[in-house]
Amino acid sequence: MADVVQFKLERMLPELDDLEKRSLFSRQEIAEIVKQRRKFEYRLKRPSPLKQDFVAYIDYEKSLDSLRLLRKKAQMKTTGDRKLKKSVSDYAGVSRIIEIYRLATTRFKGDIELWFQYLEFCRERRNGRMKKALAQVIRFHPKVPGVWIYAAAWEFDNNLNAAAARALMHSGLRACPTSEDLWVEYLRMELTYLNKLKARKVVLGEDEGTLARSGKSAKEEQWRDENKELFIVLDDKREEDKLSNLHDGDSKEKLDLFREQGLSVLQTVYGGSIKALPSSFSLRTKFLDILEATDLGHSEDMRNEILADMKRDFSKEPKYWDWLARQEVIDLNNPETTGAMTADQLSRAIEVYEEGLKIVPSASMFDCYAKFLMDVIHFKNKGSQSSELFSTARHVMDPISHLLVVYEKAETMGCITEDLACQHVSFLLQLGKVDEAKTLAEKLCSGKFSEAVQLWALRFSIEMRFIQKNCTPNKAALSSIFELLRSVLLKLPILEAETIWLMALKYFSTHKKFFDKLVETSISLLAKDGGSDDGFSLSTTIVNFVLQRDGLGSARELYKRFLALPHPGLSLYRNCIELELNLASSGDKISLGNVRKLFETALTTYDQDVRLWQDYYNMEIKMGTSETAAAVHWRARKTLKKSISLVPSLDM
């Protein structure tokens, strides 16, 4: 190992001598560089080097090369020599980084992220290793669509070789026929190629206009400029010889030729993609977006064909009707354009949803319908638009009233879900219709949603709001709501009713009589179901409530009652141990004895929990003696039946 590392370091001598000769680095800095490289080289020569070893070496070399370049530019600026001859140090850094990347990808062939970092570095430095690296990554990862897209984009942009890019895309589609991204990028590449041919004609004065529509907003243009590296662009230098194949004619004939050819390309790619991905809805929408952004011949006919295919294949799916309806209105994600929405647009969208409900009368359809109207209301209010925005001479289209009708219709048709029911009640509360919300919640909770936790929690919050309106709460009202809440808690599993338990404990914490009844209810439920360590721990929560309200004495009495129940959860033991440890750390010997008792009791049930033994050992190291700590360690090794080392935690 040492001989190999020394050999590599000796090969760096010409580069290091050149850096010192050109005064880019001092002798001390070069000595430090050698020291760091020796350290990295030894790491790479280990029997099992880590990926982080390669990455750290690469990062160091990149930083070093950047520093070298900055110093070289400063030196050129000082001397005024703008054409300084390149030497070995100008190439050695990049070559070394490329070699480290090669070694890393050879060892970690399955790491696609590392491969892309390698490719990006080669592309940025325009290194000749790029073509070989692409061939390797395609051989190792033929099922990764991004690899084919990257390779095709490189051929298309850097090598200006449309034929090679097309061949790569075809190979990619054969290897990954179910990749939406591949189909979409292939279509974009073909249309970009055609558009560049058209643009070339325009530059030569033989044609006018391009295939790209100019209907983008300023924000879209700015975003596209800032993210232009995401789009495939064709340099037209290599296409001059191909333009001679186009026949001369008037501008309109040439324009139609390109538009017709573009439509033919789209039809071909669309047909192939639909055969490969017949159930992909998002692929159809992406094709429509491309069609809208491109000026092709008979584009309206093609759009109608795609829409007809979508209706045929997806008319039974709510997402189709939701997408179709939203196409009728402006972008609801852009508040600046909300004011442009008209009553006719909203009316057409609602008609689409109503038609969808006739074909797909489902809860999902109602959920999409309700979310759409909520978006309309939200952005209408955000844009400070009054309800007159949706008014016409014949009728008034009020999305608020219509949303209430949709909720009622969902209930009537039996398509209402717990989520929709909660939305309905919450929306009434937002409108200030508290009485109606209360009545609706009572009706739903007494019907099919008798075990719906979210709806019960919403109902109790409304009931408590009514009680709090009175300066002096009515005892009868409190008793009534408590009994109702208690009956629900007895019926629902503890883990599912977490929200209601937290709400009840917080609300009744100031009413001792009701709080004590809640405690008794929890004890009866825990006696039947046992404690839980996954998520919500009711016993731990109640102990903490009592600790904050009544102090340690009451909390200690209560946790002893919980621990006496069958199979208390480990989280309760941990909480009680932490509670007693806080006092034991201040010198309370009674609490120290309680901590030991809690550990011993917990270990009778959870004796295979390594962390529990570790905590016990840490406590004895800090507060006990060496004999007690050694005894715990010996018992742990004997119980766990394996050799373990209980090292004290740093925080102990």
For the residues of 192-203, what is the DSSP string, one character each? Answer: HHHHHHHHHHHH
Residue 191 contacts residue 266 (beta carbons within 8 Å): yes
Decide: helix, strand or coil at residue 620.
Answer: helix
Which pLDDT score, from 0 to 100, does residue 166 have?
A: 94
* CA atoms within 13 A of residue 641's CA, in its CB half-sphere: 2
Residue 373 contacts residue 401 (beta carbons within 8 Å): no
Q: What is the DSSP string of 57-73?
A: HHHHHHHHHHHHHHHHH
Which pLDDT score, from 0 to 100, does residue 550 have?
A: 86
Which pLDDT score, from 0 to 100, does residue 259 have?
A: 81
CA distances from 587 to 67, 80, 649 (A): 58, 75, 21
Q: Please give, one letter per residue, the 3-state secondary structure of 533-573.
A: CCCCCHHHHHHHHHHHHHCHHHHHHHHHHHHCCCCCCHHHH
Which pLDDT score, from 0 to 100, does residue 231 have?
A: 43
Spatial CA neighbour of 22 closest among 78, 96, 94, 61: 78
Give pLDDT < 70 ranges for the chain: 82-83, 205-256, 330-341, 382-397, 470-473, 530-535, 642-652
Q: Which two tokens stand for residue 383?
A: 């844009």
Distance separating alpha carbons of residues 152 and 162, to the nearest angstrom: 9
The residues near 626 (Cβ < 8 Å, ≥ 6 apart) are none
Distance separating alpha carbons of residues 439 and 425, to the nearest angstrom: 9
Residue 149 contacts residue 181 (beta carbons within 8 Å): yes
Residue 525 contacts residue 485 (beta carbons within 8 Å): no
Q: Which two tokens stand for residue 337?
A: 């354009």
Spatial CA neighbour of 342 closest among 395, 298, 409: 395
CA 298, 304, 305, 306: dihedral to nearest 10 degrees? 110
Residue 445 contacts residue 461 (beta carbons within 8 Å): no
- Widest Cα–Cα separation across the chain: 103
Distance separating alpha carbons of residues 567 and 548, to the nearest angstrom: 26
SS3 content of the chain, % helix, strand, coil (to 5): 75, 0, 25
Distance separating alpha carbons of residues 362 and 358, to the nearest angstrom: 10
Q: Which two tokens stand for residue 550?
A: 């009544």
The residues near 424 (Cβ < 8 Å, ≥ 6 apart) are 404, 407, 411, 416, 440
Q: Which two tokens stand for residue 371?
A: 């979310």
The residues near 112 (Cβ < 8 Å, ≥ 6 apart) are 137, 141, 144, 146, 147
Decide: helix, strand or coil at residue 124.
Answer: helix
Spatial CA neighbour of 71 closest among 113, 129, 118, 29: 29
Distance separating alpha carbons of residues 169 and 163, to the nearest angstrom: 10
Beta partners for 391?
A: 396
Which pLDDT score, from 0 to 100, does residue 466 have?
A: 77
Position 236: which residue type? D
First to last CA, the chain: 42
Q: Which two tokens stand for residue 498?
A: 């977490």
Residue whose structure tokens are 């070694």: 103
Distance separating alpha carbons of residues 456 and 503, to the nearest angstrom: 11
Distance separating alpha carbons of residues 348 and 350, to the nearest angstrom: 5
CA distances from 485 to 476, 517, 571 (A): 14, 11, 26
pLDDT in tens, 443-453: 999 888 888 99
E strands in 390-529:
none
Angle at 354 between CA 428 and CA 380, to 5 degrees: 50
Q: Which two tokens stand for residue 154?
A: 């490189």
Which pLDDT score, from 0 to 100, does residue 2 have?
A: 84
Helix axis angle, 145-157 relative to 162-175, nearest 10°? 170
Distance separating alpha carbons of residues 261 and 263, to the nearest angstrom: 5
Q: Please give, one letter per residue, the 3-state secondary structure of 137-181.
A: HHHHCCCCHHHHHHHHHHHHHCCCCHHHHHHHHHHHHHHCCCCHH
Distance separating alpha carbons of residues 158 and 233, to the nearest angstrom: 10
Distance separating alpha carbons of residues 528 and 492, to the nearest angstrom: 13
Distance separating alpha carbons of residues 464 and 162, to the nearest angstrom: 70
Which pLDDT score, from 0 to 100, does residue 333 have?
A: 54
Spatial CA neighbour of 595 closest among 628, 567, 566: 628
Q: Which two tokens stand for residue 124?
A: 């940025």
* CA atoms within 13 A of residue 3's CA, in its CB half-sphere: 0
